[in-house]
Structure 1
């Protein structure tokens, strides 16, 4: 039983997943700091307000705090933009550069679900070759 557990833990994908989880947790701190300490003050410099959480309206004695939603929405958009422009785009550029250096053709766009299903349907329609 212990031997099986050791084999499970030492498999590459479990260790890789653990490393990725720890790296992801550390990366959250970096992205949060980028958004909180750099991008949000930039938004405040442009719009004159850094925190919208005090924005509310009242209907029938119920208070709607739409400012907190605006804060969350701005944080989401800024985090998504930071991830795209500082991680995804540079890594895609590096991958494409590697492909060109290796003499490989540019990566093709993946097929859509409809295209894949159509291709599968067509393959299933064709009779198997006779041997």
Structure 2
């Protein structure tokens, strides 16, 4: 039983996934710092607020008098939808996605394309009608001329 579990854990995919999750968590901390320490001050310089967290949409809730204790006031945050915090998280996500794409995905695609073998030619042009026909064809299926 333990041997099967050990074989499962030591397979390349599981170890690679664990490393990717750990590096991803550290990378998220870096991009969150980028958003809070660099981008938000730029937003503050343009808009006048440090970030979007002050943007709140208030939904008016009607409380019945019997729901409240005598002399108590309704909670001011009960009907607040934190739109600004959501926008901050969207900015952070988009930065994470952009950095992962431009720093990891794009260079890996370029590197792998160098080692990719060229595709084998499977068709040839018909001398009569210039349509593509398979290499093994003896006649063109469009104009019936010998290939």
Change (3 A) 1:58 1:2: closer
Runs of 5+ consecutive residues of structure 2 not aligned to the other structure: 64-73, 119-147
Runs of 5+ consecutive residues of structure 1 not aligned to the other structure: 106-131
Larger C-alpha radius of gyration, 1 or 2? Answer: 2
Aligned match for 1:85, one of 92, 98, 107 = 98
Structure whose residues are more often helix by fraction = 1
TM superposition score normalised by structure 2:
0.55
Residue 95 of structure 1: aligned partner: 108
1:40-51 to structure 2, matched below 5 A, reads 40-51=40-51
Residue 57 of structure 1: aligned partner: 58
Q: Contact conserved, 2:57 with 2:80, CA < 8 A, in 1?
A: yes
Change (3 A) 1:2 1:92: closer
1:24-35 to structure 2, matched below 5 A, reads 24-35=24-35
Residue 39 of structure 2: aligned partner: 39
TM superposition score normalised by structure 1:
0.60
Q: Contact conserved, 2:55 with 2:83, CA < 8 A, in 1?
A: no
Q: Contact conserved, 2:40 with 2:50, CA < 8 A, in 1?
A: yes
How many residues align? The count is: 103
